[in-house]
Amino acid sequence: MKVAVVGATGLVGSKMLQVLEERNFPITKLLVVASERSVGKTIKFRGKRHKIISMTDAVAKKPQVAIFSAGGSVSKEWAPRFAEVGTVVIDNSSAWRMDPEKKLVVPEVNADVLTKKDKIIANPNCSTIQMVVALKPLHDKYKIKRVVVSTYQSVTGTGVKAVNQLMNERKGKQGDRAYPYQIDLNLLPHIDVFTENGYTKEEMKMVNETKKIMGDDSIRVTATTVRVPVIGGHSESVNVEFERDFDLDEVRNLLAAAPGVVITDNPAELQYPMPLFAHDKDEVFVGRLRRDESQPNTLNMWVVSDNLRKGAATNAVQIAEYLLEKGILKLKKKKAEAAL
């Protein structure tokens, strides 16, 4: 299995390498790919140093799978080039998510849509991923009518520059800024750019991606996305209106049995999901489960997950694992290449 990681030097790219190593993905040949300024440098993986190569060189080596985290413009240009040589691309940018010809996949929710014809597969937005993992078992049972979500998103979702801004501000140091305002001791109700309807792109991603992943355009979603001075994961306050009434104990049981979900819901012991505890974990943590007393058939819940892992790297690797499991990706028997 020849695997390329594109954008390997970024926050998500480095997390992808970590997750591939932790989950023991069967890599025979690893190609680490980054921008021209990084070509020739090395990255450590499974105890060995691997030289960073260019996009052109990576395409020429025809990897079986390429996991991208290099931004939308890079994905638009290069994902088709990899696909042309037979590579399956799993792309973490927003470039292909709403393309009607491309699948948008969260394995716990809709991996069954994938086929051998899918050469470019989109990884959803981080805040959407964790929400739909929690919504899926409830939608199957009670049918969701409407979702009202407010997010509290980690600075790691913006990248290294944002993390540095937060840490510099905390130390009283000057430095490059990722945000138009101070983020330490503050929050910004503004993620991505504003659109004509007054919502940000991030908010509209949650609206549109949720419908596509769940395969149900009747689900109404409204979102407010907020950047907070947190490292470790994104948190979401999710209000869900169902067509049918529910029993809270049954809701807990459904979520506890759902793949990728961990229930942390014991208010008497002050146990609830927090980024502090979600950090560097792959699960989606759900708590603060309670009935909305202002209207019927409506549930409030609090959903937290590590945005660099399940919200990005882990979800992409899980897609690759599913493709292997179903025989869509196949290990090649080739003695010439020793395992790493």
> Of 139, 190, 234, 279, which residue is the catalytic one?
234
| Beta strand ranges found along the chain (DSSP E) | 2-6, 29-33, 42-45, 48-53, 65-68, 88-91, 103-104, 120-122, 144-153, 220-227, 234-242, 261-263, 284-291, 298-305
What is residue 300's three-state secondary structure?
strand
Q: Which two tokens stand for residue 273?
A: 């999901």
Residues contacting 200, CB < 8 A, separation 6+: 190, 191, 192, 193, 194, 225
Note if 190 is an active site residue. Answer: no
Structure-token pair, residue 225: 């996305």
Among candidate residues 50, 126, 139, 279, the one labeled active-site is 126
234 is catalytic: yes
Residue 242, number of CB atoms within 10 A of its CB: 19
| DSSP structure class, residue 335 | T
Written as six digits, the tokens of 164 are 């540095």
CB-facing half-sphere around the CA of 293: CA atoms within 13 A: 1
Q: What angle do CA 136, 138, 139 make, to 5 degrees?
A: 65
The dihedral built from the CA positions of residue 298, 299, 305 and 310, taken in this order, carries a sign that is negative
Return the active site residues.
126, 234
